[in-house]
A and B are shown apart, each in its own frame.
Chain A
Amino acid sequence: MKNLSPARRSIITAAAASALALGLSACGANSNPLEEDTAGPAASPGVSGPLVVGSANFPESQVIGEIYAGALNAAGIEATTKPGIGSREVYVKAVEEGSVDVIPDYSGNLLLFLDPEATAASADEIMEALPAALPEGLSVLEPSPAENKDAMVVTKATAEKYQLSSIEDMGPVCDELVLGANPEFAERGYGLPGLKENYGCEPKSFEPINDAGGPATLKALITDQIQVADIYTTTPSIEDNDLVVLEDPKNNFIAQQVLPLVSSASVGEEATQVLNEVSAALTTEDLIDLNRQVSGDEKRNPADAAADWLKEKGLAE
C-alpha cells in the first residue's frame, strides 16, 4: 500500500466502501424475510400464543372469521385473523399443519370434500358423519342454524300463481317453468337429476347462467324470463327483491350449516364455548345482512361489520 499513489489509494478506498455498502444493502434486503420468519413462532403451531382464525377466499367467510376472532378476543382469548386463505383444499391443509387454528366452514361441503362418497343429506346426518370423516387432529364445533346453500328461488308472484312454498309443490307444475342456474346444475346430482328423482320435477327448459345466482340470474328471474333460479340462501338479493326460497323437505340440496373447523389441540374448552355461543346466535338472516354490508354498495370492512354484529348480539362490547 505504501507504494500506491494517493489517487490510487482513494480509488481502492472508494471501491472498498462501495463493496461494504453493497454488502450492507444486500444484508438489508435479506434481513426482512428472515426477521419475519423468526417473528413467526408467536403465531405458529403448538406454541401457545394467539389463536389464528383463518377464512376462505370469499367475503362471507371473512366476516364469519372476523366474528370468531372478535368473540374470542372479547372473551379474553387472544386471537388474530388470517383472511382469504384460499379454497377448501388449501385451508383444510393449513389447519392440519397448524398454521391456522380456527376457520369457518359449511357442514355439507366439508363432508363431501373429506368423503366424496358420503350420502348424508340432512343437517343431523351430516353432523353425525363429519367427525369420522375428519383427519386426525381436526374437529368441528357446534353447527350454527345459519346455512348458505343452493336453493330454488321464485318471485312472490310466481309463488302465488302456482301456490308454491316447497319444491314438492313445484313438481306438478314444473313443466311450465323455466329454470336458470349455473351450467353444472344440468348435470350435478343435486341439479336437474336430483329435482327429477326427488320431486319428479322436469322444468320446461334449463337456461345456464354462469354467475352463481348473481345479477344476471336475478334480472332474468325478475323479468320472468326464467321462473325458478338457483340462488344461495345468504344472497341479499333474496330479501331485497322479496323472493321466495322454496322449502326442500327431501334435502335435495344437502345441509350447509356454518361451523368452525378447528385444530383440536390448540382450541381449548373456553374457546370452544365462545365459538359455540357465536354459532348459536348466528342466523341465515344475519348472514344475508352481513353479506349486504360487505359485498353490497357499501363495501364495508368485514371486521367492522363483524364488530357491529357481536355488539348487537351482546357477545362483545
Chain B
Amino acid sequence: MNNLNIIIGREVKERVAKKSFIFTTLLTPLFMILLMALPSLIMLFSHGSKQKIVTIDKSELVLPALLKEAQDNELVAIVPAKSGATQQELIHDENYDGVLVIGPDIVSNPSNVTLYSRESSTMDVKDAVSSTVAEVVREQRMKKYNVEDIDRLLADSRVSVDIKEVRVDEEGNESDSSSTLAMALGFIMTFMLYTFLLLYGQMVMNSIIEEKNNRVLELMVSSVKPIQLMLGKIIGVGLVALIQIVVWAILVCAFVAMVMPLLIPADIATDMAAMQAGTFNAASSDVSTEMLTAISTFSNVGYLASIFGYLALFMVGGFLFYASIFAAIGASVDNAQDASNLTTFATIPIIFGLVFGMMAFQDPNSTAVIWMSMIPFTSPMVMIARIPFDIAQWQIWLSFAILIASFVGMAWFAGKVYRIGIFMYGKKPTVKDIIRWARYK
C-alpha cells in the first residue's frame, strides 16, 4: 500500500510539474471562455460594418416599417433612397452594399421585391426584408376590409411566440429545460470526455512502453509488485487528469461568479431576474426565452459545478476502465508501432461512445441509448451526454457502479497481462498470446 502511494506520488509529481501541463491547464479554460464569448465579440466589432441597403419604395407603404425593423438589426442598415436617384446610379454607388427595390403593386403582388447587390447578400438581409414586407402586406390587405379599430387590432395581434419548455419528471416536479442548451452542454462534455479518455489513456500506454523500453521496470519490479506498478501508473495519471478538470471547473466557476455579472447587459439581467421570479414576459423582451435560459444556466455557478462534478465522476470511471486496457496493451508491446494495431481495441469503443453520445441528443431516453449508457465501453460518453437532459438519478448511479465494477474486472485481467508482458521483448504479441499470458500462474 505504501509502495502504491510512492508510485502514485511520482507519477503525479513528474507530470504536474511539467511546464506543458501547467500551460494547457491554465490556458484551456481561457480559450474556452474566449470561444464562448466569441459570438458576442464578433457582434460587437461588426457594428461598424453593417450592410447598408438603400431602398427605393415605389409603393411608399413598406419603407417606414422596414426602417423601424432595421433599427434593432445588428447586421443590416436600411437607408431610404434620395428622391430623383435612379436605380442604376444607386447600384453603382460604392457607398451602398445593395439596392432594394419594392414594386408599386407590392400589396397585390408581394413577390415584386428585388434586392440588387454586388456580393451575394446574407441570409439576415433577406430574412429581415421578407418578414417585414410580409407583415406590411398582411396589414395593408387587412385594412381593406374596413374593420373598426383596425390599427389597435393589428397592434394587439403582433405577437412573438417563444416556447418555454418545462420538463416534468416522474415525481411530477417541474424544471426549466431547454433542449438546445442540454444538447450544447452534453456535446461539450461528451467531447471533453472523449478527448480525455483518448489522451490520458494513451499517456498511460506510452509511458508503460517507455518504462519497458528503457528497462527501468526491471529495476522497479524487485521492489514493487507488478500489479502495484500498474495501478500506481493508472491512478497517478488519473489523478493528473482529475486535477486538470478540477482546475478548469474552479476557473470557469470563478469566472462565471465574478466576471459574468459584469458582462451581462442590464436589460438582460432584469429579464433574468424576472424569469427567476416567474414574471417574465417574452413578448415585452427582445431576448428569446431560449437565449435567456441559456445565459442564466451558464451563469448559475451551482449548476455548472454539478455538471463538472458529473464530468469528473464519469471521467474517473471511464478513465480507470480504459486505462486498464491501455496498460495491458502498453505492457505487451515493445514500441508504439507495434501498439497501433492493438490500440484499436481501446479506441474503437471510445469512438463508438462518442457516436452513441451524439445519438443521445436526439432521444436521450430511447432504449438503445439507455443500454449504451450502461455498458461500460460506451457508458461514460453516452451517460455524460444524457445528464443535461435531467434523466433519472438511479440510472446515473447504476451506470457509474457498473463502470467501477468493470474497471475492477478489467484491472484484474490487465494486471495478469502486465505481469508477464513487461518481461516479453522482441516478438510482437497477438491477442491470443495476451490471453494466454493472463492464464499463467
Q: Do A and B bind each other?
A: no
Residues of chain B whose beta carbon lies under 8 Å from any beta carbon of chain A: none
